[in-house]
Amino acid sequence: MRDKDYSGCFACGLDNPRSLGLEFVTDSDGTVTASWTGAEWYQGYPGIVHGGILCTLLDEGMAKAVQESGAIGVTAKMEVRFRKPASTGVELIVTGWIEDRRGKRIKARGEIKDKKGQLLAEGKALFIARDET
């Protein structure tokens, strides 16, 4: 799922040469998933993906789940828990889903796992649906 309306996005933008290149697919229950492999230049400590990049992956996964629910939301609050280091050069699986929606307030969750299914990071966020203009 790539939307041309967000072509300049740092995480998924089609026209942004520095984009992370995330391409999400949507499951029948609205859960979104993408795979991503971090090159060396995304590291913090040698061989370890920088935590800020992992936060971006989680935020984007949750935002795409919000978008798939029919809303365009902005992140109001996000909490991330890092479980294990994510190595550069290793394929990561980013997943996002909606936990609850009440009016404009949308709660989402996300996780990053490696190909073996080990949980590396998880997040939860509050999104506020914005009015379309």
Give me the mean pLDDT over the 1-24 stretch: 72
Q: What is the pTM of this model?
A: 0.91
% residues pLDDT > 70 (the chain):
94
The pLDDT assigned to 123 comes to 98
pLDDT surpasses 50 at 82: yes
Find the angle CA(107)-CA(62)-CA(73) to the nearest 5 degrees: 65
Mean pLDDT of 22-44: 94
- Could you tell me the domains of the chain? 24-129 (3.10.129.10)
Buried b (16+ CB within 10 A) or exposed e, 88-127: beeebbbbbbbeebeeeebbbbbbbbeeeeeebbbbbbbb
Q: What is the pLDDT of residue 1?
A: 44
* Whole-number pLDDT of residue 132: 59
Q: Which residue has the higher pLDDT, 11 or 29?
A: 29
Q: How far apart are CA 77 and CA 75, in angstroms?
A: 6
